[in-house]
Structure 1
Amino acid sequence: MNQKPEDITISQTNHELGSRFDCTYLSSTVEAAKDPLPWKCMLYFIFISTPFSIFAYIWILSTFFAAVGTSLIPFIGYFFWWLWALSWRSLGRIELLATRLCSETDFDIELLPKVYIDLSCECKFFPPILDKYTWRCFAYFVFIKWFITPFTLAYALILFLIWLLPPCLLLSSNGLILLGKMQYKLTRQFLLDD
Protein backbone atom coordinates (compact mmCIF):
# COMPACT_ATOMS: atom_id res chain seq x y z
CA MET A 1 0.00 0.00 0.00
CA ASN A 2 2.93 2.28 0.47
CA GLN A 3 3.82 4.05 -2.73
CA LYS A 4 7.03 5.89 -3.23
CA PRO A 5 6.71 9.65 -3.76
CA GLU A 6 8.20 9.40 -7.25
CA ASP A 7 5.58 6.72 -8.20
CA ILE A 8 2.82 9.10 -7.14
CA THR A 9 4.21 11.98 -9.22
CA ILE A 10 4.69 9.73 -12.29
CA SER A 11 1.11 8.42 -12.09
CA GLN A 12 -0.23 11.96 -11.57
CA THR A 13 1.76 13.20 -14.58
CA ASN A 14 0.52 10.32 -16.75
CA HIS A 15 -3.06 10.99 -15.63
CA GLU A 16 -2.70 14.72 -16.41
CA LEU A 17 -1.26 13.98 -19.88
CA GLY A 18 -4.00 11.47 -20.63
CA SER A 19 -6.79 13.79 -19.55
CA ARG A 20 -5.26 16.71 -21.47
CA PHE A 21 -5.03 14.54 -24.62
CA ASP A 22 -8.61 13.32 -24.22
CA CYS A 23 -9.92 16.86 -23.67
CA THR A 24 -8.04 18.23 -26.66
CA TYR A 25 -9.21 15.42 -28.91
CA LEU A 26 -12.77 15.68 -27.63
CA SER A 27 -12.90 19.45 -28.08
CA SER A 28 -11.43 19.11 -31.60
CA THR A 29 -14.04 16.50 -32.45
CA VAL A 30 -16.85 18.69 -31.12
CA GLU A 31 -15.52 21.67 -33.08
CA ALA A 32 -15.35 19.53 -36.24
CA ALA A 33 -18.97 18.48 -35.74
CA LYS A 34 -20.03 22.11 -35.27
CA ASP A 35 -18.13 23.39 -38.31
CA PRO A 36 -20.66 24.01 -41.12
CA LEU A 37 -18.13 23.67 -43.96
CA PRO A 38 -17.87 19.83 -43.94
CA TRP A 39 -21.66 19.60 -43.75
CA LYS A 40 -22.01 21.92 -46.74
CA CYS A 41 -19.35 19.96 -48.66
CA MET A 42 -21.20 16.72 -47.97
CA LEU A 43 -24.48 18.31 -49.06
CA TYR A 44 -22.85 19.51 -52.26
CA PHE A 45 -21.17 16.22 -53.22
CA ILE A 46 -24.02 13.86 -52.39
CA PHE A 47 -27.16 15.83 -53.18
CA ILE A 48 -26.14 18.58 -55.62
CA SER A 49 -23.03 17.62 -57.59
CA THR A 50 -24.00 14.10 -58.60
CA PRO A 51 -27.56 14.72 -59.85
CA PHE A 52 -26.56 18.02 -61.44
CA SER A 53 -23.57 16.56 -63.29
CA ILE A 54 -25.71 13.67 -64.62
CA PHE A 55 -28.35 16.15 -65.79
CA ALA A 56 -25.75 18.50 -67.32
CA TYR A 57 -23.97 15.66 -69.13
CA ILE A 58 -27.19 14.37 -70.68
CA TRP A 59 -28.48 17.87 -71.48
CA ILE A 60 -25.29 19.13 -73.10
CA LEU A 61 -24.70 16.04 -75.22
CA SER A 62 -28.31 15.80 -76.37
CA THR A 63 -28.53 19.49 -77.21
CA PHE A 64 -25.17 19.37 -78.98
CA PHE A 65 -26.26 16.52 -81.25
CA ALA A 66 -29.66 18.16 -81.79
CA ALA A 67 -27.91 21.41 -82.72
CA VAL A 68 -25.63 19.58 -85.15
CA GLY A 69 -28.69 17.88 -86.66
CA THR A 70 -30.66 21.10 -87.01
CA SER A 71 -27.68 22.93 -88.53
CA LEU A 72 -28.80 21.67 -91.92
CA ILE A 73 -31.77 24.05 -91.71
CA PRO A 74 -30.02 27.44 -91.70
CA PHE A 75 -32.16 29.79 -89.63
CA ILE A 76 -33.69 27.18 -87.34
CA GLY A 77 -30.29 25.59 -86.72
CA TYR A 78 -28.71 28.93 -85.78
CA PHE A 79 -31.55 29.65 -83.41
CA PHE A 80 -31.12 26.28 -81.65
CA TRP A 81 -27.32 26.68 -81.46
CA TRP A 82 -27.80 30.07 -79.85
CA LEU A 83 -30.46 28.83 -77.42
CA TRP A 84 -28.48 25.77 -76.37
CA ALA A 85 -25.25 27.73 -76.02
CA LEU A 86 -27.05 29.98 -73.54
CA SER A 87 -28.29 26.91 -71.64
CA TRP A 88 -24.71 25.57 -71.38
CA ARG A 89 -23.59 28.94 -70.05
CA SER A 90 -26.41 28.79 -67.49
CA LEU A 91 -25.28 25.36 -66.33
CA GLY A 92 -21.73 26.67 -65.88
CA ARG A 93 -22.99 29.60 -63.84
CA ILE A 94 -25.09 27.31 -61.63
CA GLU A 95 -22.05 25.08 -61.05
CA LEU A 96 -19.91 28.06 -60.07
CA LEU A 97 -22.57 29.22 -57.63
CA ALA A 98 -23.06 25.71 -56.19
CA THR A 99 -19.36 25.11 -55.55
CA ARG A 100 -19.35 28.16 -53.29
CA LEU A 101 -20.76 25.76 -50.67
CA CYS A 102 -17.35 24.09 -50.53
CA SER A 103 -15.34 27.23 -49.92
CA GLU A 104 -14.57 29.26 -46.84
CA THR A 105 -14.01 32.34 -48.94
CA ASP A 106 -16.62 33.67 -51.27
CA PHE A 107 -16.02 35.27 -54.64
CA ASP A 108 -17.91 38.19 -55.99
CA ILE A 109 -20.96 37.20 -58.00
CA GLU A 110 -20.14 40.00 -60.43
CA LEU A 111 -17.05 38.00 -61.49
CA LEU A 112 -19.20 35.21 -62.87
CA PRO A 113 -19.52 35.15 -66.65
CA LYS A 114 -22.87 36.40 -67.84
CA VAL A 115 -25.34 33.98 -69.31
CA TYR A 116 -26.35 36.51 -71.92
CA ILE A 117 -23.64 38.18 -73.96
CA ASP A 118 -23.71 41.79 -75.05
CA LEU A 119 -25.01 41.69 -78.59
CA SER A 120 -23.61 45.08 -79.57
CA CYS A 121 -20.98 43.56 -81.84
CA GLU A 122 -21.33 43.27 -85.62
CA CYS A 123 -22.37 39.65 -85.51
CA LYS A 124 -25.46 39.69 -83.32
CA PHE A 125 -26.30 36.01 -83.58
CA PHE A 126 -23.05 34.13 -83.01
CA PRO A 127 -21.43 35.50 -79.81
CA PRO A 128 -22.78 32.85 -77.40
CA ILE A 129 -21.84 30.09 -79.83
CA LEU A 130 -18.31 31.35 -80.48
CA ASP A 131 -17.54 32.44 -76.93
CA LYS A 132 -14.72 30.62 -75.13
CA TYR A 133 -16.75 30.32 -71.89
CA THR A 134 -19.52 28.45 -73.72
CA TRP A 135 -17.10 25.80 -74.94
CA ARG A 136 -15.40 25.64 -71.54
CA CYS A 137 -18.80 24.76 -70.04
CA PHE A 138 -19.25 22.10 -72.71
CA ALA A 139 -15.82 20.55 -72.02
CA TYR A 140 -16.19 20.84 -68.24
CA PHE A 141 -19.50 18.97 -68.03
CA VAL A 142 -18.89 16.44 -70.79
CA PHE A 143 -15.31 15.48 -69.92
CA ILE A 144 -14.06 16.73 -66.56
CA LYS A 145 -17.15 16.73 -64.34
CA TRP A 146 -18.44 13.49 -65.80
CA PHE A 147 -15.10 11.80 -65.07
CA ILE A 148 -14.56 13.05 -61.50
CA THR A 149 -18.15 12.80 -60.20
CA PRO A 150 -18.08 9.02 -59.46
CA PHE A 151 -14.81 9.41 -57.54
CA THR A 152 -15.91 12.43 -55.52
CA LEU A 153 -19.27 10.80 -54.74
CA ALA A 154 -17.59 7.57 -53.57
CA TYR A 155 -15.07 9.49 -51.47
CA ALA A 156 -17.80 11.67 -49.93
CA LEU A 157 -19.96 8.63 -49.13
CA ILE A 158 -17.02 6.83 -47.50
CA LEU A 159 -16.22 9.91 -45.44
CA PHE A 160 -19.89 10.21 -44.49
CA LEU A 161 -20.00 6.59 -43.33
CA ILE A 162 -16.87 6.91 -41.21
CA TRP A 163 -18.18 10.24 -39.94
CA LEU A 164 -20.69 8.25 -37.93
CA LEU A 165 -17.85 6.70 -35.94
CA PRO A 166 -16.83 9.27 -33.29
CA PRO A 167 -13.07 8.62 -33.47
CA CYS A 168 -13.11 9.27 -37.22
CA LEU A 169 -15.19 12.45 -37.17
CA LEU A 170 -12.20 14.77 -37.17
CA LEU A 171 -10.48 12.91 -40.02
CA SER A 172 -13.67 12.77 -42.04
CA SER A 173 -14.36 16.49 -41.57
CA ASN A 174 -10.88 17.39 -42.75
CA GLY A 175 -11.22 15.03 -45.72
CA LEU A 176 -14.52 16.59 -46.79
CA ILE A 177 -13.07 20.09 -46.50
CA LEU A 178 -10.05 19.06 -48.59
CA LEU A 179 -12.28 17.47 -51.24
CA GLY A 180 -14.49 20.55 -51.30
CA LYS A 181 -11.53 22.91 -51.71
CA MET A 182 -10.16 20.82 -54.57
CA GLN A 183 -13.55 20.85 -56.33
CA TYR A 184 -13.91 24.60 -55.79
CA LYS A 185 -10.44 25.30 -57.21
CA LEU A 186 -10.97 23.01 -60.21
CA THR A 187 -14.32 24.54 -61.09
CA ARG A 188 -13.07 28.07 -60.61
CA GLN A 189 -9.88 27.49 -62.64
CA PHE A 190 -11.68 25.80 -65.48
CA LEU A 191 -14.77 27.98 -65.78
CA LEU A 192 -13.73 31.32 -64.36
CA ASP A 193 -10.01 32.00 -64.72
CA ASP A 194 -8.50 32.85 -68.06
Structure 2
Amino acid sequence: MSTRIETDGRGLFYVMGPSGSGKDSLLRALRERLGPDDRVVVAHRYITREADANEASVALTPDEFQRRQALGCLALNWHSHGLHYGIGVEIEQWLAAGLTVIVNGSREYLPQAVARYPKLCAIHVRVKPEVLAARLRQRGRESEEAIARRLVRAGQAFDVPDGCLLVEIDNSGALRASADALARVVGVGGD
Protein backbone atom coordinates (compact mmCIF):
# COMPACT_ATOMS: atom_id res chain seq x y z
CA MET A 1 0.00 0.00 0.00
CA SER A 2 1.41 3.40 -0.93
CA THR A 3 1.12 6.51 1.20
CA ARG A 4 -0.45 9.57 -0.38
CA ILE A 5 -0.24 12.89 1.40
CA GLU A 6 -3.69 14.42 1.76
CA THR A 7 -3.79 17.47 -0.47
CA ASP A 8 -7.41 18.47 0.08
CA GLY A 9 -8.39 17.97 -3.56
CA ARG A 10 -5.62 20.18 -4.83
CA GLY A 11 -4.90 19.68 -8.49
CA LEU A 12 -1.88 21.97 -8.87
CA PHE A 13 1.50 20.97 -7.45
CA TYR A 14 4.16 23.67 -7.41
CA VAL A 15 7.63 22.11 -7.24
CA MET A 16 10.37 24.46 -6.08
CA GLY A 17 13.85 24.39 -4.62
CA PRO A 18 17.32 25.73 -5.20
CA SER A 19 18.93 25.47 -8.58
CA GLY A 20 20.77 22.15 -8.59
CA SER A 21 18.42 20.46 -6.12
CA GLY A 22 17.28 18.04 -8.82
CA LYS A 23 13.80 19.35 -9.60
CA ASP A 24 14.14 18.61 -13.31
CA SER A 25 15.46 15.11 -12.63
CA LEU A 26 12.56 14.43 -10.27
CA LEU A 27 10.02 15.69 -12.78
CA ARG A 28 11.60 13.62 -15.56
CA ALA A 29 11.48 10.53 -13.32
CA LEU A 30 7.83 11.22 -12.59
CA ARG A 31 6.99 11.63 -16.30
CA GLU A 32 8.67 8.28 -16.99
CA ARG A 33 6.30 6.62 -14.48
CA LEU A 34 3.12 7.97 -16.03
CA GLY A 35 0.92 5.45 -17.73
CA PRO A 36 -1.79 6.08 -20.30
CA ASP A 37 -4.49 6.24 -17.62
CA ASP A 38 -2.68 8.61 -15.25
CA ARG A 39 -4.44 11.97 -15.29
CA VAL A 40 -1.25 13.86 -14.50
CA VAL A 41 0.55 16.43 -16.64
CA VAL A 42 3.98 17.91 -15.96
CA ALA A 43 3.83 21.38 -17.50
CA HIS A 44 6.74 22.65 -19.55
CA ARG A 45 8.30 25.92 -18.52
CA TYR A 46 9.15 28.82 -20.81
CA ILE A 47 12.63 30.21 -20.14
CA THR A 48 14.94 32.80 -21.68
CA ARG A 49 17.93 30.48 -22.05
CA GLU A 50 18.60 27.30 -23.94
CA ALA A 51 16.92 24.32 -22.29
CA ASP A 52 19.00 21.29 -21.48
CA ALA A 53 17.97 17.72 -22.21
CA ASN A 54 17.00 17.08 -18.58
CA GLU A 55 14.27 19.71 -18.33
CA ALA A 56 10.80 20.17 -19.76
CA SER A 57 11.39 23.71 -21.00
CA VAL A 58 10.83 25.78 -24.10
CA ALA A 59 13.53 28.35 -24.85
CA LEU A 60 12.31 31.82 -25.81
CA THR A 61 14.18 35.01 -26.59
CA PRO A 62 13.62 37.77 -24.03
CA ASP A 63 11.58 39.70 -26.63
CA GLU A 64 9.35 36.70 -27.37
CA PHE A 65 8.90 36.04 -23.66
CA GLN A 66 7.80 39.66 -23.10
CA ARG A 67 5.47 39.45 -26.11
CA ARG A 68 3.78 36.31 -24.77
CA GLN A 69 3.51 37.84 -21.33
CA ALA A 70 1.83 40.94 -22.81
CA LEU A 71 -0.57 38.74 -24.81
CA GLY A 72 -1.69 36.94 -21.62
CA CYS A 73 -0.14 33.60 -22.62
CA LEU A 74 1.48 33.04 -19.21
CA ALA A 75 -0.41 31.95 -16.11
CA LEU A 76 2.68 32.38 -13.94
CA ASN A 77 5.93 34.19 -14.63
CA TRP A 78 8.95 35.41 -12.70
CA HIS A 79 12.46 36.75 -13.10
CA SER A 80 15.43 35.11 -11.36
CA HIS A 81 19.20 35.10 -11.86
CA GLY A 82 18.89 37.31 -14.94
CA LEU A 83 16.39 34.99 -16.67
CA HIS A 84 12.63 35.04 -17.25
CA TYR A 85 10.56 31.94 -16.47
CA GLY A 86 6.91 31.26 -17.19
CA ILE A 87 4.16 28.66 -17.09
CA GLY A 88 1.61 28.82 -19.89
CA VAL A 89 -2.11 29.45 -19.48
CA GLU A 90 -2.76 25.98 -20.87
CA ILE A 91 -2.49 24.70 -17.28
CA GLU A 92 -5.86 26.30 -16.59
CA GLN A 93 -7.53 24.14 -19.24
CA TRP A 94 -5.83 21.06 -17.79
CA LEU A 95 -6.98 21.92 -14.26
CA ALA A 96 -10.52 22.60 -15.51
CA ALA A 97 -10.50 19.14 -17.12
CA GLY A 98 -9.73 17.60 -13.72
CA LEU A 99 -6.10 16.79 -14.44
CA THR A 100 -3.37 16.94 -11.83
CA VAL A 101 -0.86 19.54 -13.00
CA ILE A 102 2.72 19.79 -11.81
CA VAL A 103 4.82 22.89 -12.45
CA ASN A 104 8.45 23.74 -11.82
CA GLY A 105 8.24 27.00 -9.90
CA SER A 106 10.30 29.40 -7.80
CA ARG A 107 10.47 29.72 -4.01
CA GLU A 108 10.58 33.50 -4.31
CA TYR A 109 7.44 33.55 -6.47
CA LEU A 110 5.39 31.20 -4.23
CA PRO A 111 3.24 34.00 -2.69
CA GLN A 112 2.17 35.22 -6.14
CA ALA A 113 1.45 31.66 -7.29
CA VAL A 114 -0.70 31.03 -4.19
CA ALA A 115 -2.53 34.32 -4.78
CA ARG A 116 -3.57 33.05 -8.23
CA TYR A 117 -4.04 29.37 -7.23
CA PRO A 118 -4.95 29.34 -3.52
CA LYS A 119 -5.33 25.56 -3.32
CA LEU A 120 -1.96 24.66 -4.83
CA CYS A 121 0.29 22.27 -2.93
CA ALA A 122 3.88 23.52 -2.70
CA ILE A 123 6.60 20.87 -2.85
CA HIS A 124 9.99 22.06 -1.65
CA VAL A 125 12.90 19.97 -2.95
CA ARG A 126 15.84 20.37 -0.63
CA VAL A 127 19.33 18.92 -0.68
CA LYS A 128 22.32 18.96 1.65
CA PRO A 129 24.67 21.92 0.97
CA GLU A 130 27.65 19.73 0.02
CA VAL A 131 25.52 17.78 -2.47
CA LEU A 132 24.14 21.00 -3.93
CA ALA A 133 27.63 22.46 -4.34
CA ALA A 134 28.83 19.34 -6.17
CA ARG A 135 25.80 19.37 -8.50
CA LEU A 136 26.19 23.03 -9.35
CA ARG A 137 29.88 22.54 -10.18
CA GLN A 138 29.09 19.47 -12.28
CA ARG A 139 26.58 21.43 -14.38
CA GLY A 140 29.33 23.85 -15.37
CA ARG A 141 26.94 26.76 -16.00
CA GLU A 142 28.33 29.22 -13.44
CA SER A 143 31.49 30.60 -11.86
CA GLU A 144 32.56 29.70 -8.33
CA GLU A 145 31.34 33.13 -7.21
CA ALA A 146 27.89 32.49 -8.67
CA ILE A 147 27.81 29.03 -7.09
CA ALA A 148 28.68 30.55 -3.70
CA ARG A 149 25.77 33.01 -4.07
CA ARG A 150 23.40 30.15 -4.96
CA LEU A 151 24.53 28.17 -1.89
CA VAL A 152 23.82 31.14 0.38
CA ARG A 153 20.41 31.64 -1.22
CA ALA A 154 19.59 27.93 -0.92
CA GLY A 155 19.92 28.14 2.86
CA GLN A 156 17.68 31.18 3.25
CA ALA A 157 14.10 30.99 4.45
CA PHE A 158 11.31 31.78 2.00
CA ASP A 159 7.76 33.02 2.47
CA VAL A 160 5.03 30.40 2.66
CA PRO A 161 1.60 32.05 2.62
CA ASP A 162 -0.91 31.17 5.33
CA GLY A 163 -3.00 28.17 4.34
CA CYS A 164 -0.50 26.92 1.75
CA LEU A 165 0.23 23.23 2.13
CA LEU A 166 4.00 22.71 1.98
CA VAL A 167 5.59 19.28 1.54
CA GLU A 168 9.35 18.79 1.87
CA ILE A 169 11.27 16.22 -0.20
CA ASP A 170 14.96 15.60 0.49
CA ASN A 171 16.73 14.85 -2.79
CA SER A 172 20.24 14.46 -1.34
CA GLY A 173 20.36 10.71 -1.91
CA ALA A 174 19.21 8.29 -4.57
CA LEU A 175 16.91 9.79 -7.19
CA ARG A 176 14.61 6.77 -7.04
CA ALA A 177 13.79 7.37 -3.36
CA SER A 178 13.02 11.03 -3.99
CA ALA A 179 10.99 10.17 -7.10
CA ASP A 180 9.01 7.63 -5.04
CA ALA A 181 8.25 10.37 -2.50
CA LEU A 182 7.14 12.79 -5.22
CA ALA A 183 4.95 10.13 -6.84
CA ARG A 184 3.24 9.47 -3.49
CA VAL A 185 2.58 13.17 -2.95
CA VAL A 186 0.93 13.67 -6.35
CA GLY A 187 -0.84 10.31 -6.34
CA VAL A 188 0.96 8.51 -9.16
CA GLY A 189 1.09 4.74 -8.88
CA GLY A 190 0.34 2.81 -5.75
CA ASP A 191 -2.78 1.11 -4.56
Rg larger for: 1
TM-score by length of 2: 0.22
TM-score by length of 1: 0.22
